Amino acid sequence: MAERQEKTFKFVIVGGGIAGVTCVEQLTSQIPSGDVALITAGPHIKAVTNYKQVSKTLEEFDVEEKPSSVLEEKFPDLTVIHSAVKSLHTETHSVETADGRVFGYEKLCICSGGRPNLLMKENPYVLGIRDTDSAQEFQKHLCKAKRIVVVGNGGIALELVYEVEGCEVIWAVKDKAIGNTFFDAGAAQFLIPSLEADKPEVAAPCKRTRYTTEEPAPGASQTFTPGSALGPDWHEGIALRGAQQVRQFVHVLGSWPVYIQLTNGKTFGCDFVVSATGVVPNTEPFLHGNNFSVANDGGLQVDDHMMTSEPDVYAAGDVCTACWKHSPLWQQMRLWTQARQMGWYAGRCMAAEVLSEPIELDFCFELFSHITKFFNYKVVLLGKFNGQGLGPDQELLVRCTKGQEYVKVVVSGGRMVGAVLIGETDLEETFENLILNQMDLTPYGEELLNPNIDIEDYFD
Ligand code: FAD
């Protein structure tokens, strides 16, 4: 293999999603002539733009899908290699790409993301949504469909059932309430009317990505290459309309291309099934012949320096599983924000190692925080927002105004440990502070959510 080795780079990053690109940016800014290579399977990279720190831990940003040349222009010392990594040889510190080239590395960071955890593989009637290609495939099927079954209860399923029009949607959910990954039954009840109501005619301007791709160049390879995961607003610019002209549900008698049987014994016919049941980390090309510790969820285990169990190999984003001792207020979720934070922190750790500088776990891993939108409502999640891992030692305070806001606070031992804020509550900063400073809130009791009290003044 040594003769075929094209070049050894100081840093090799695998994956052009948010985690990989942020890692590259961080490395190149800390070590300007760092000799960095980005190896990525997809034709485009994901770039974070308009980054805004909303509060101590909450952040918002736009994501743009761009040709990789944009990165090369910005960082002249960066080499972008378009090919998928086929195998990794940790002993010789080298990777082999699908087009047969071999590259050496001194430090490697694996940011290869994940792929949909499909109910059934290689069934043409079961689709997953991950990247631009699969979203377009979904759209192609949808425009001819009269009925689809959506399986899953996370963010993608939530968005799908809200966005799809002109097609009957059967939503198969194994939990007691919708949106179980993010919400409890109360929040689900708050959101359900939005599914039944008419959507606003003109959607609010989209602040984030527009997923447009160019047609492949003539003669370009049509073989499968895993692209970057989509993310917020992935459906913008994609008409999610089925074959029916009206929005209301219809029951069409007759035979269907595929039937799905649920565990409650019911069977439904449909045009196709969307499997939105989470992701599986893309680890396969890296495992063979190496000794990675792999977590139960299939991710590469990383420590508090984003290092895997193999020397000089780091990992970040959806492909990894955070195995350090977590702060009591943080948990890993395979989300856009965490992909950025991990990529950025992995870049810092790699640079610190080379520069022999000490580095401590970043503050962003102190408190879980996430801003998103569901059913057109702003949603802020903080800390142990669903009482994760708290057992019976938790108390919930809830305030809800139908169609306007839903505020839930999780209190444990008199301290606020989590919150769900749906709507324009304007409470995120105050609650973030209360969670971070772990103030004893026992004296305030239910007054904490009294709408007639300006809570900000209260705690000044
Ligand atoms: P990815 O973005 O998956 O990037 C992986 C990269 O690795 C890609 O460039 C791929 O081409 C490359 N690659 C893979 N294998 C190889 C290989 N062998 N060799 C070389 N390159 C390889 N998160 C949110 O926070 N909010 C949301 O609203 C939200 N909505 C989502 C909606 C959809 C439809 C999907 C699919 C995801 C959504 N997510 C959302 C999750 C979010 O998109 C991911 O957590 C995030 O993009 C992960 O980033 P990543 O860089 O780790 O991986």
ipTM: 0.98
Helix H or strand E segment including 352: helix 336-354
Residue type, 131: D
Average pLDDT over residues 315-326: 98
The Å distance, Cα 204 to ligand 1 centre, comes to 25
Rounded CA-CA distance 8/10 in Å is 7
Q: Tell me which of 13, 39, 40, 158 to substitute to probe ligand 1's pocket, judged by most ligand atoms within 8 Å of the beta carbon.
A: 40
User: Residues in the chain, how many?
Assistant: 460
Residue appearing with tokens 């692209």? 227
Indicate whether 178 pLDDT > 60: yes
The Å distance, Cα 415 to ligand 1 centre, comes to 35
Indicate whether 334 pLDDT > 70: yes
Ligand 1, CB cutoff 6 Å, lining residues: 14-20, 39-42, 46, 84-85, 111-113, 129-130, 155-156, 226-232, 234, 282, 285, 317-318, 334-337, 339, 372
Q: Identify the bridge partners of residue 110 per DSSP, sorted by sequence position.
A: 14, 315
| DSSP alpha helix (H) spans, 38-154 | 69-74, 132-142
User: Of ligand 1's atoms, which has the minimum distance to the CA of residue 227?
Assistant: 11
- Sorted by where each starts, the structural domains of the chain and their CATH numbers stand as 7-113+282-365 (3.50.50.60), 116-199+228-277 (3.50.50.60), 376-458 (3.30.390.30)
Average pLDDT over residues 120-136: 86
Ligand 1, atom 32, lies closest to the CA of: 231
Ligand 1, atom 15, lies closest to the CA of: 112
User: Of ligand 1's atoms, which has the minimum distance to the CA of residue 39?
Assistant: 20
Of 122-136, 140-154, 430-444, minimum mean pLDDT range? 122-136
| Contact by Cβ (8 Å): 20, 116 | no
pLDDT band at 175 (very low <50, low <70, confident <90, very high): confident
Neighbouring C-beta atoms of residue 297, cutoff 10 Å: 14
pLDDT band at 14 (very low <50, low <70, confident <90, very high): very high
Indicate whether 212 pLDDT > 60: no
Average pLDDT over residues 396-424: 94
Dihedral angle sign, alpha carbons of residues 293, 229, 138, 152: positive
The Å distance, Cα 243 to ligand 1 centre, comes to 30
3-state secondary structure of 25: helix
Indicate whether 150 pLDDT > 80: yes
Burial of 261 (0-12, 13-18, 19+ CB in 10 A): exposed
User: Of ligand 1's atoms, which has the minimum distance to the CA of residue 225?
Assistant: 11
Q: Identify the bridge partners of residue 374 per DSSP, sorted by sequence position.
A: 377
Neighbouring C-beta atoms of residue 296, cutoff 10 Å: 7
For 241-376, strand residue ranges (E) read: 258-261, 267-270, 272-275, 279-281, 300-302, 313-315, 320-322, 369-374
Calculate what percentage of the chain has a pLDDT beyond 70.
Answer: 88
- Rounded to two decimals, the pTM is 0.89
Residue type, 166: G
The Å distance, Cα 448 to ligand 1 centre, comes to 38
**pLDDT at 200 (0 to 100):** 63
**pLDDT at 217 (0 to 100):** 37
> Which of 131-142 are b and which e, b meaning 16 or more Cβ less than 10 Å from the residue's Cβ?
bbebbeebeebb
Model confidence pLDDT, tens digit, residues 291-313? 999 999 999 999 999 999 999 99
Between the alpha carbon of residue 309 and those of residues 91, 103, 303, 321, 407, the distances in Å are 13, 21, 8, 12, 41
The Å distance, Cα 211 to ligand 1 centre, comes to 14
Rounded CA-CA distance 388/368 in Å is 11
Average pLDDT over residues 73-100: 95
Ligand 1, atom 36, lies closest to the CA of: 130
pLDDT band at 448 (very low <50, low <70, confident <90, very high): confident
Of 121-125, 163-167, 228-232, 273-277, minimum mean pLDDT range? 228-232
Angle between helices 336-354 and 18-30 (to 10 degrees): 30
**pLDDT at 92 (0 to 100):** 96
Average pLDDT over residues 180-203: 76
**pLDDT at 204 (0 to 100):** 37
Indicate whether 207 pLDDT > 50: no
Which range has highest mean pLDDT (62-71, 149-158, 430-439, 444-453)? 430-439
Q: Tell me which of 306, 336, 373 to substitute to probe ligand 1's pocket, judged by most ligand atoms within 8 Å of the beta carbon.
A: 336
The Å distance, Cα 315 to ligand 1 centre, comes to 14
pLDDT band at 460 (very low <50, low <70, confident <90, very high): low
The Å distance, Cα 49 to ligand 1 centre, comes to 16
Calculate what percentage of the chain has a pLDDT beyond 90.
Answer: 55
The Å distance, Cα 302 to ligand 1 centre, comes to 18
pLDDT band at 201 (very low <50, low <70, confident <90, very high): low
Of 30-34, 317-321, 416-420, minimum mean pLDDT range? 30-34
Helix H or strand E segment including 380: strand 377-383
